[in-house]
Structure 1
């Protein structure tokens, strides 16, 4: 079993999240409340300053739009928050989006997509596709520069699926950044990290399985291919260049790295990273861990390079 970054370990201990999983699984409401509590507790305080932050609706989907301080042409990032398709919202990843906006000088558009189990597959995918298409079709309204999709966890799944859709629709996409993505919801493959990191690192393998079941609902077969499982696509050629980062201590590590390898084998430029000691969800912990800050800086820098070259 790998060793967790000590600063993250101390953080989980501070919030009482370093013990064994509860005997009784939490309800959906309890999961959402717990996720929101932790995310807001570790968010930068005061918030990172950007040019403006506005809530809007695009293609019928609520979004939050972050604009940089500098005027003129800017790249655009559609950033999709994580949360297993079940938890997470615009507030839980506000700090992530603000840093992306500041560090890249980019317009960041974050969709508030529908969550399971109230809205099972393909609701989240439909919402993110709709927002990304709208942004792509109105570039002048969102910076006017190159476009990327990005996300973490379930959001990275949605971003990866969007990149595949854009490829198939011949829509230009300069880059995709995927942080610890879930890429295979089929249940048919055995990934060592799902065993090695099954418990003890915040996200458990049982929780992953529960989230997948909640999202796929009455259509578990949807996990046997894209868009639910981007890794199971038949063709990866021609996809946007990718930056993919996974934590060593994450049950989803191996399927994220497998996706990076599949893209690379198809000739897609890929920057692939495994970060020692980091756990699932690490993007949110950049102000609490030196190791996380180094990883996040690398991921955002590499995404920025793809948007400016």
Structure 2
């Protein structure tokens, strides 16, 4: 990390560790939209990013956007403890296996979360989501296997989805080597990765492959979104309507791709046998409504679903585990729910908080 990043990271951590009342005084009038109040540490964070001209997900070029995501992830994620990490090759793809303290690669019968990172199908890699994967594994006790699927435009649609399905098959074929119980494998991801994880669960159910659970964190589920959350939160809250338009235009370059069921999950006739789902949304996220619509779609198809909206959070909060308090608290709650999902199936319910 260079000197500037070190200074910025120290300042960010200090300011976001201040009492909420001080943060509120620094950030100004509370941001209230749709009956929700943005967490004061996030309002301060967004204000600081705007001053540093780092306030949105996107960039003047693909390379600039990728670099900005990596830089923001490093600043917000910090260095999180984990029992062990090892690099693997999964179905020909780079992957990273996170083992919580007390777990070993040779353990037999452990659960596993197969994780796909977010980034609009264009950004992100193993490093951009290293911190949240560490926290999810360490705090849940569930090993996490993150797979670096091919992003566009270099790996054109539907390569990411093909990679994900191949990764799941590889994990099942190598369950003994990983020390994994093949009946306790789940899939998960955030944003675009949530879309990929949801599709992988659908494909698995169609093929009769049992999955134990799916963890979908603010998933994108409707490429032609026309939602109230997009209108309310599509500017100034990190993920913007403009950046989403760019992601779509760059990744889905033909009418056939835009119409494909893999990126239009609300229109998919869902199969029986879908894994129980924990769907997470953020109150100030333009993707909020489509994620919650997909949770309802799953319920209507007979799947077991728990919907949890973190009303004071923004898109990308999964990565904010090294600074501030509110996002880390949300991620710790998700990790606790992951622990429960990996050991038992729950009922259908919904919660906001």
1:236 positional shift: 4.7
1:25 positional shift: 5.4
> How many residues are matched?
303
Could you list the per-position Cα deviations for residues 181-223 of structure 1 after superposition, in whole angstroms to 9, with x for gaps in the alignment? 00111x2x52111111110101101111211221112x33323
Counterpart residue number, 1:32: 66
The yes-or-no answer on 1:123 pairing with 2:159 is yes
Residue 181 of structure 1 aligns to a residue whose secondary structure is coil
Q: Which 10-residue stretch deviates more, 276-285 or 231-240?
A: 231-240
Q: Following the alignment from structure 1 to structure 2, what is the Cα–Cα distance between the partners of residues 77 and 207?
A: 29
Match of 1:43 among 77, 83, 107: 77
Q: Following the alignment from structure 1 to structure 2, what is the Cα–Cα distance between the partners of residues 238 and 41?
A: 40
Q: Following the alignment from structure 1 to structure 2, what is the Cα–Cα distance between the partners of residues 116 and 229?
A: 18
- Gap regions ≥5 residues in structure 2: 1-32, 345-353
Structure ID, larger Rg: 2
Residue 271 of structure 1 aligns to a residue whose secondary structure is strand
Tell me if structure 1 keeps the 8 A contact 2:115–2:187.
yes
Tell me if structure 1 keeps the 8 A contact 2:82–2:98.
no
Counterpart residue number, 2:28: none
Q: Which 10-residue stretch deviates more, 32-41 or 261-270?
A: 261-270
Tell me if structure 1 keeps the 8 A contact 2:122–2:153.
yes
- Gap regions ≥5 residues in structure 1: none
1:31-180 mapped onto 2 (5 Å cutoff): 31-45=65-79, 47-50=80-83, 52-71=84-103, 72=107, 73-145=109-181, 146-180=184-218
Tell me if structure 2 keeps the 8 A contact 1:176–1:303.
no
Tell me if structure 1 keeps the 8 A contact 2:46–2:237.
no
Tell me if structure 2 keeps the 8 A contact 1:180–1:244.
yes
Q: Following the alignment from structure 2 to structure 1, what is the Cα–Cα distance between the partners of residues 266 and 208?
A: 20
Runs of 4+ aligned residues of structure 1 deviating over 6 Å after TM superposition are 17-22
CA RMSD of aligned residues (A): 2.0
Q: Following the alignment from structure 2 to structure 1, what is the Cα–Cα distance between the partners of residues 273 and 214?
A: 13
